[in-house]
Every structure is written in structure tokens, then in C-alpha cells.
Chain A
Amino acid sequence: MPTVEIPKEKWNGKVREVKIGATKEEGGSRTKTITIGGEATLPFLHFENTIPHAPALAIEIKDRKPADWSPLLYEAWGDAMNDPAAWAKAAEASGADLIVLTLSVATKPDEAKATVRKVLNATGLPLAVFGPGQAEKDNELIVPVAEEAKGEKLLIGVCEDKNYRTIVAAAMANDHLVTSKTPMDVNLAKQLVILIHDMGMPLERIVMDPTTGALGYGIEYGYSVMERLRLAALQGDSMTQQPMIVTPGEEAWKAKESKVGEGVPESWGEWKKRAIYWETLTATPLIHAGADVVVLRHPESLKKVKGMINALMSKGN
């Protein structure tokens, strides 16, 4: 029989470990914390090197019931969407490892503080809180939230190249972590990590969001940027060694394929099935490209993706 030598790469670097959430002993109130990163090889290649942590799955909830989500998401979460605390509990019950709370443009700082407090009281899971993605509004909402939840080790954002200083300063002053979001580009991703780190933020508290597109809408760009970032990290490029967060839920549910059931070609098949496939098939390639936190919207997608991750992490079987 020919001998087949299993080809293994010798990597010089690994992804940084980042811990989200703090327990009572650690100065917060979480009953569970989550550690991501630490991979010393490409996704799930256990035969090559160690992968200490599975990718974490998050469910995205909003501080107020969104007006423009797909009817399928209203059907899935029901009345819980009227109350972020109830929604967070439902997300926890669906099997999420952490909760991502996104705040709305219409929200006022005091309301944001109160909502975050309610969600912290409702769930023991680690929490990420993001602004609506508009620089001024993000700063206006996230700074008081960071103060309100001091010590909880929240993951907060959105830090972008044009707007990161205020949020990073709030995270440093109140013991939180930040996401560093850049538009699908390896060098921009690296650059923003450097800028945030230069402000004094430890690298163990930065998670990169390299941005992705949905399946069918440019996912290949985000996918390849993530593969390149992960290869650079393993090759020892220090400023690319942050774990990555991606938002396939948000992207997939923007696509017409998930969002609507009427006025679409018959060849698209049954709406609900298609919508879940769109979200899971946006998440799946990104997880194989190195995603460490995967933010989803539908509980069925979460269940499906969780099954896949469990299988991919079950070495020795």
C-alpha cells in the first residue's frame, strides 16, 4: 500500500483568545462567559493543530420591535419582540451562546440604558450592544450604555475607521470589549485594529467585523477577505490575529430570497424553507472561513448551524 503522508502546515501564529462577559466574581453579573479564538490552524482542521473553542452563536435582538423585518421573523419570535427582555430570554432558550442587542435610531440615551439593564437582568448570557451604525447616534447611545453596564465586559460597537475613538474610550473606561468593523478589506481590517490598539485598548478586547454580504449578494468577497485574514493570522501577522464576528443573519434577511414570499419566481421554491436555507447557507461558508462569532436572526437557523458546529468540533469521533 502506498504511504500517504498527511500534509500539515506549520503555522507561526494563532488567533488571540478573547473572553466576552464577566461573572459576579469578575465584576459583572453574567452567569456564563464565552471565550472565542485561540485557533492554531484553519477552521476545524483538528488533524493539524489545536482549536480550543467552538465558534459562538448569537441571536440578534432589537431594543424596539423592528418595522421592516421579514414576516417569518415576526412569526418565529412573536410577542417577545415587543419586549427586549422577553426576546433575550427567548433567544437564550433557542440555544444562543450570547445575545446581540442592536439599538434603534429613534432610541434616546436613557431608554438605551434602561433596555440594556433589563436585558442584563433577563439573561445570564454575555451581551453585545451595537448602535444603529450612524456615527453620532452610536456615540450618543453607546457611551451611556457602557457606563450603565460597567464591568460586564460587553462587546460594544460599532467602531469604524471614521468613528471609533469615543466608543473605544468608553469601553476602556468601563471594562468592555469593542468590535472593529471595516468594509471587506484585509488592509483596512488590520489598520483599524492598529488604531484601536494605539489608543491603549488591549488586543484581548478587540473583535474584528470584516463585514460580509449575503449568499447571492457578494458573499464571496467577505468569504475571501476572511480566509485571507485568517491565513495572515496563522502566518504570524499580529494585527490580524483578532477573532472575527460576522452577521449572516442581518445580511441574509435583507435579501429578497428570505424577506418576501410573494412576487418571486416559482423556481425559488417554498418561502420558509428558502429563507432558512439562505441564512444557514450564508453562515456555513463564513464559519468555514474562520468566523468566531456568528450573529443569526431565526431560531431554526441557529439550531441547524449549531448542529453543524457540534459535528465540526467533535474530534475523536
Chain B
Amino acid sequence: MALTGLQIYKLLPQTNCKECGHPTCLAFAMKLAAKQAELAGCPYVTPEAKAQLESASAPPIRLVTVSNNGTKIEEGNETVMFRHEKTFYHRAALMIRLKDDDPALQEKISKADSYIVDYVGIKLGVDGFAIEATADATKFVEAIKVTRSATKKPLILIAADSAAMAEGAKEAGDKPLLYAADESNWQKMAELAKSLKTPLAVKAASLEKLAELTESIKKLGVEDLVLDPMMNGHLDSLSALTQIRRLAIKKNFRALGYPVITFPNDEVLAAQHVAKYSSFVVLDDFDPAMMYALLALRQNIYTDPQKPIQVLPGLYEINSPKPDSPVFVTTNFSITYFAVNNEVEGSGLQGWLLVADAEGMSVLTAWAAGKFDADRIAKAVKTTGIESKVNHKKIIIPGQVAVLSGELEESLPGWQIMVGPKEAVDLPAYVKTMWKN
């Protein structure tokens, strides 16, 4: 947790020597709190105070990186409990777990590895794989080799025996996540993670035991840790993950200040984990329908609330429109834009899509906020030159803002304002019945 200026001031020499370039120690402390100055600017700060200040400025949840071949999964560094307070920074990784004795291992991995789904123009896929040892090191190593031949994505290695883990890690690429250190094997696992410079997951069935383990492991020099509180039910995992997040963010409890890994056994629990505080969500089955739904949810939850995803306002062409093609009006919120564009494009109809600057909000939200009104729509009509591209004077506005049609007729003399359907999905049917008339 960040210290306040006054808390920092108490740790400074309080001599007002001005050598840091600030008039007083308090002024310097305020700059430090606002992250506008570096502690190195003070030549007289004591080593104890320095250590205290440095640890206080470390992020409450450590950033942990799992990687291979240039692909990185970065988790942690979260600073809030609720996305509206600022944003969630590092999107939860969605990964698939497979056992090393799975006869269809290669096939399953190839299929999931090549999976790509387009969501509002963003290409999304599975983030990586977890390979679980079921017997000896030989089988495990074999499976990891097979995995590596089928995917370049980062891996989680699941083995209880540190010797098998060591053998497997040799084949696993750059920085796999080793899963997991527990009460019985933590020393060996920590030594291994330290020598490989790779992150280590830690599991224990109570928060006390988990904290005790992470502290012990940290003393051995391994700091890139991931927590598994071993809670599988809906209620227990929500409680444990909320407590871990609160302890890290609100209490600055370092022993639990790490990203969390979970293994949900159904899509509803996986959805809870995406929304409520898991960083590595490891699924047992790869099903495109489920993966698409979870990826969409993950994108939604991790969207920065202060920066709605926008498209540039302006005139967009759908399926090479002609002068007699219809003109649709919508906002520049990306999801709204894609909904309209996809419907018209998918139906094979031609059309002009006039995207008004609604500050990145959806139709109803923008209308409620006064960002999608007659003036803005009229401005879009006038500035995009649509008038010179079509041989008619008709625009179709979203049904949700039917109330604007009167005002628009005044703002756009000579134009006919048509009220379209409320939902983009109904646009093709609307065009087929209403446009030709």
C-alpha cells in the first residue's frame, strides 16, 4: 500500500537541508508520495528508512511472468477490489489442463492451440497449457516434449515430485510456472524454481499455511510466486479469493501479495474466477463455445472503465455501398459499432455506416449522458460528406433514440429521419421491409 506524504516524512531526516532540490523535507515527502521524485534524491536517508520506503512502494500484488518464445503471460500488479475504482490491469489467463497419460494429448493441444476467435476485432485464444504428471518422470518429460511440438504458448507444469519437475522443466521452454510447492516438498521446489529462475505456485488449504509457506520460500530467494488456496466450491473460493485480494491491497499483507491460480470445474465457477480475483484460470476441457464465452467475459471485466473501446467517428462502407444504399447512424462505442457492422455485413446488404462521436459510449448510455443527440448526429451528417455520396436524403437512427427524430428533422432540413429497430440484430429484416418502400 502506498504511504502518504506524512508517513514518508516521518522516515526522512527532517533537517530541511534542501540538497534534494526541495525547500523542505515535507515538500520532498509529498513529491515522493505523488511519485514525482525519487528517494535517491535524499543523500542522508538511513538504510532502515530506505528499506521501509522501498518495500512500501512495491506493488501490493507482485507482477509474475510466465513465458515462452516471446509470448508472455503477466499477472498481478492489481490495485483495486472493484473495476470501477480504477481498472483491472492484467487479464486473467485462460489455460487448459491435460494429463501426461492422455492418448490424444497432441491432438487436443493442437486443436486448442490453433483456436482463434474474433471479438470486436480483437483476436483471442487460449493463453497456454498445464501438463499434469500422473506417474514417473519419463512419461512426464515425454508429454512435455509432445506438448512443445504442438504449441509455443507458455506452460504450467503440474508435478508433486521435484525430480520429475526438474526433468520436465528442461523441455518446457523459457519460463514455465511450476505447480506446486506444498508443505512436504517446498524446499526442493523452491531450490528448483530458484535455479531455473522461473515462477513457483504454492498451495495450502488455509490462508495461514499459505502465508507461512510463501514466507519460507521467499527466504530461500524465490519471489515470483502464485497462490493456490485449494478452494473448489463456489462459496469457499469466492471467500478465499476475496480475502487474499483484500489482505494484499487493503492491508499490504506481503505474504499473500501474489496472483492466484484456480482450477474451476465448470463454466459458471470459471466465470466467478474471472470476475473475482483469479489470475490463472485453468480449465479441464477445451470447448470452443465455453472458451468464447469466457474470453468475452474476461475482455469485458478487464476493459478500462475510464477508457471505453472506441472506433474513429466517420463514415464506414459496408459491402461496397452504392448511392441508393441505406445510411445507418450509430455511436463510436466499439461494441455498438461492431454489432451494427456485423449484422449488416453478415446479411450481405450494402450500406453506409455513419458513426457519430458519442465519446465512446453505447447508444442508450450516450443518449442518457447527452453525448448522442440531434446536434451530434447532424454534425456527423454534415462533416462526413455523406450527402455527396448518396442519391437520397434518408438516415436510419437506432430505435432506442426514436425520441430524437423530431429534433433531427429540425437540425437536418430536407432529410427524412427513419427510426430503425432497437437492436442491431433486427436491422437486416428492417432494411428488407422498410428501405425499399
Contacts and interface: CB of A to CB of B under 8 A. Distances in A.
Interface of A: 1-7, 42, 44-47, 68, 183-185, 188, 211, 213, 215-221, 223-224, 227-228, 231, 254-257, 259, 263, 265-271, 273-274, 277-278, 280-281, 284-285, 288, 304-305, 307-308, 311-315, 317
Q: Which of A4, A211, A278, A317 has the most chain B CB within a 10 Å cutoff?
A: A4
A280 B369 CA distance: 30
Given A7-B246, A183-B368, A215 B300 contact: yes
A314 B235 contact: yes
B250 to A, nearest CB: 6
Given A7-B246, A185-B368, A269-B290, A45 B233 contact: no
A274 B235 contact: no
5 contacts: A7-B243, A7-B246, A68-B426, A254-B425, A257-B293
Interface in B387-437: 423, 425-426
B272 A267 contact: no
Contact of A281 (B84, B297, B346, B426): B297
A284 B274 CA distance: 11
Interface of B: 82-84, 115-119, 207-209, 211-212, 215, 233-235, 238-239, 242-243, 246-247, 250-251, 253, 255-256, 267-269, 271-272, 275-276, 287-294, 296-297, 299-301, 303, 305, 333, 335, 339, 342-343, 346, 362, 364-365, 367-369, 423, 425-426
Q: Which of B209, B247, B289 has the most chain A CB within a 10 Å cutoff?
A: B289
B434 to A, nearest CB: 16
B362 A311 contact: no
A312 B231 CA distance: 13
Contact of B271 (A5, A68, A254, A285): A285
A267 B115 contact: yes
Q: Which of B234, B243, B246, B250 has the most chain A CB within a 10 Å cutoff?
A: B234
Given A220-B83, A270-B289, 19 more contacts: A1-B208, A4-B211, A4-B253, A46-B235, A185-B369, A215-B300, A216-B297, A220-B301, A220-B305, A256-B343, A268-B292, A277-B290, A278-B293, A284-B275, A288-B272, A305-B268, A312-B235, A313-B235, A317-B235
A185 B361 CA distance: 13
Contact of A46 (B212, B239, B250, B288): B239
Nearest first, the 7 A-B pairs at minimum CB distance are A269-B289, A269-B288, A274-B289, A216-B296, A311-B234, A267-B117, A277-B293
A20 B423 CA distance: 31
Contacts of B365: 183-185, 218, 221
B208 to A, nearest CB: 5
Nearest to A133: B422
Contacts of A183: 364-365, 367-368
A4 B251 CA distance: 11
B118 A267 contact: yes
A146 to B, nearest CB: 26
Contact of B215 (A2, A227, A269): A2
Contacts of B83: 220, 223-224, 227
Nearest to B211: A2
Contact of B117 (A268, A305, A312): A268
B53 to A, nearest CB: 23
Contacts of B211: 1-2, 4
A280 B267 contact: yes
B208 A3 contact: yes
A230 to B, nearest CB: 10
Q: Which of A183, A277, A280, A288 has the most chain B CB within a 10 Å cutoff?
A: A277
A247 to B, nearest CB: 14
Contacts of A277: 267, 289-290, 293
A213 B303 CA distance: 14
B297 A215 contact: yes
Contact of B212 (A1, A259, A274): A1
Contacts of A1: 208-209, 211-212
A285 B297 contact: yes
Contact of A285 (B233, B239, B246, B275): B275
A215 B293 contact: yes
Contacts of A4: 207-208, 211, 247, 253, 255-256
A25 B346 CA distance: 56
Q: Which of B84, B300, B343, B367 has the most chain A CB within a 10 Å cutoff?
A: B300
A184 B289 contact: no
A229 to B, nearest CB: 11
Contacts of B118: 265, 267
Contacts of A217: 335, 339
B239 A47 contact: yes
A4 B208 CA distance: 6
Q: Which of B84, B251, B268 has the most chain A CB within a 10 Å cutoff?
A: B268
Contacts of B117: 265, 267-268
B82 A231 contact: yes
A3 B239 CA distance: 18
A174 B321 CA distance: 55
Contacts of B247: 4, 7
Contacts of B293: 215, 257, 274, 277-278, 281
A52 to B, nearest CB: 16
B368 A284 contact: no
A217 B362 CA distance: 9
B368 A227 contact: no
B49 to A, nearest CB: 24
Contacts of B238: 44-45, 288, 312
Contacts of A185: 365, 368-369
A269 B292 contact: yes
B425 A317 contact: no
A192 to B, nearest CB: 12
A235 to B, nearest CB: 13
